[in-house]
Structure 1
Amino acid sequence: MKYFYKFPELAFIEQSVVTIGMFDGVHLGHAKVLSSCVNIAKQKSISSVVISFSNHPSTYFNQSIENNGTLLSPESEKIQWIEALGIDYLFLIPFDQFIAQLPAENLIEDILLPQFGICDLVLGYDNRFGYQRKGSVDFVNEYYSQHIKAYSVEVATIEDEIISSSIIKEYLSQGNLPRANKMLGRAYTLSGSIIHGNHKGRELGFPTANLMLEDSAKYIPGLGVYLSKMKIGNNTYSGITNIGKRPTITMDQHISIETHLLNFDCDIYGEKVEIFLLDKIRDEKKFNSLQELIDQISIDVNLAKSILA
């Protein structure tokens, strides 16, 4: 897959099937849309194209919202998961004033037809595009049917609940990882590098690997202790991950992500890792003493061993 950060200035693709959307999280609902795009393109032996955005539209419409912590799948993850579904070209366009005010007609007539050679447009069941969300499957089929066939992909559900990025975020904030992961089709992942912390975990008898997120835009689940697995190189290890402010020790202002790996004692500072969050054990809590904290961590570790071993 090839990816770009702006629209081409000249004719780029002779014929293509295009889909448009934020695709944050690239969850099972998105996969249904993207797979439809790929399948139609393969049937016609033409290219499949995704037009998405490098920042969440909410950060444009509400300037007080920073991009930090807004995305289920920041750029590198979005590229990875969209490529895995077989898309040929991905355009990650900044959602800015130009995009926000671009009429659907102009997107079609000035970009999709001349530059992408669009033959088919695939959209999610509730997806619209263009200024004031004027663009839709019905709109395209009514005004551009001579050039484009537009398709709407049926809604994806799990146990009668619609799969959406906002619902997944809600489950993550609640610590309901099994439900969120089911909608994603994979475990929710936090990626980054291992950095030095204050080494308090080692003093307590439970050394931890402190994660610096690869991308600050990554959405962080609710505070608490989680069953997890960590991938280091080609190896994966079981553990427990604490997401929180360490109220018993320091009550940090920022959120830290620390993982204690079971039966593991190697130096991994500087290593790039992936943490797969599986389920929440408990909420973060301020204990009355360090001994109470140690006792609770022992309980957490034993529970993790009984489930993950």
Structure 2
Amino acid sequence: MQIVEYRSNRVFPFRSEEPEEFPVVASAVTVGAFDGVHRGHRKIISRMVSIARQRALRSVVVTFDPHPRRVLGGEVTGPLGLLTTLEEKITLLRSADVDLLFVVRFTPEFAMQSSEEFIKNVLVGLLGAKSIVIGYDHGFGRNRSGSGDDLRRLGLELGFTVDVESEVRIADEHFSSTRIRQLLGLGRIEEANAFLGSFYTISGTVVEGDGRGRGLGFPTVNIHIPDPHKLLPQSGVYVAESNIDGLSWMAMMNVGVRPTVEDGGRTSVEAHILGWEGSLYGRELSFNLLHFIRRERKFPTLEALRQQLEKDKKTVELYC
């Protein structure tokens, strides 16, 4: 999958300051924030890829960074609760057999474009759209004002077809990133993963901690998450899994403020990796969340905490 960045009317190889020549190629295109790249998103992307293959077109996913809500503001006053950082989104899309991921740097100026300007200038003019695939509730351009009917009208004018993918539901529940956020906030990891079609992932850099876990007999890796808008699930202890150097390792992950050892602490993410020995400082790690064990709580003594951690570890071992 090729990845390029679009901003200020110029195209760049991803994370490069040098513009590259970007040829207009006949393409099938789909557009969206695709936060979580959940099963509803995947159905749309799969339909687009299928059309591209049938018509010998390039398959293109257009997404935005930062998330449009970070730029447009409105009622957003704190972290957005993103299901995926850009890097996590890229990892998920690599498995979708897409030819090109086109990352639009979303700015206030870009947001002022009308739906027609966006379609003409970017989708058709730059990406050569001959087919555009959208979800049933998709909106284009400023204030999401562009509808499927607008697309079809422009398609007749500019020479592209429009396909609208139907809604996806699980057990008659509406599919949305909002619903997945709700499930994660309740610690209902298995249900959230079912909607995602993959495991919910927390990624970041291993940084030095205070060593308290090692003192209790449970050394942990402390994870710094680079994007403050990344959604953390309900505070508590989780069964997790991480791939390190090509091998899968089970882990006991804690998300929370560690009330037994720290008063008024900030939310942190740390994981005890079962069987791991050695330093991981500075490494980039991703953890898939598999199961919610229990809520975080304050224990009367460190020994009581240690005993509970032993029980939590057994839960992880049984989950294997």
User: Shared fold (TM-score greater than 0.5)?
Assistant: yes
2:208 to 196, 202, 205: 196
Distance 1:252 1:107, change over 3 A: same
CA distance in 1, matches of 2:272, 2:22: 53
Which residue is equivalent to 2:105?
94
CA distance in 1, matches of 2:227, 2:111: 24
Which residue is equivalent to 1:181?
193
Which residue is equivalent to 2:297?
285
Which structure 1 segments of 5+ residues have no match? none
Which residue is equivalent to 1:38?
49
Which residue is equivalent to 1:149?
161
Q: Secondary structure at the match of 2:110?
A: helix
Larger displacement relative to structure 2 (275-284 or 155-164): 155-164
Distance 1:281 1:142, change over 3 A: same
Asked if the contact 2:155/2:162 (under 8 Å) is kept, the reply is no
Deviation at 1:54, TM superposition (A): 0.6
Instruction: Write out aligned runs for 1:104-143 (5 A).
Output: 104-143=115-154
Which residue is equivalent to 1:172?
184
CA distance in 2, matches of 1:34, 1:91: 14
Q: Secondary structure at the match of 1:220?
A: coil
Larger displacement relative to structure 2 (25-34 or 290-299): 290-299
Deviation at 1:39, TM superposition (A): 0.9
CA RMSD of aligned residues (A): 2.1
Larger displacement relative to structure 2 (6-15 or 242-251): 6-15
CA distance in 2, matches of 1:67, 1:234: 36
Deviation at 1:45, TM superposition (A): 0.7
CA distance in 2, matches of 1:264, 1:20: 41
**1:296 maps to 2:308:** yes
Q: Secondary structure at the match of 2:6?
A: coil
1:84 to 81, 91, 95: 95
1:162 to 174, 194, 219: 174
Which residue is equivalent to 2:15?
none
TM-score (norm 1): 0.92
Which structure 2 segments of 5+ residues have no match? 11-20
Asked if the contact 1:196/1:269 (under 8 Å) is kept, the reply is yes
Instruction: Write out aligned runs for 1:6-85 (5 A).
Output: 6=6, 12-62=23-73, 65=76, 70-85=81-96
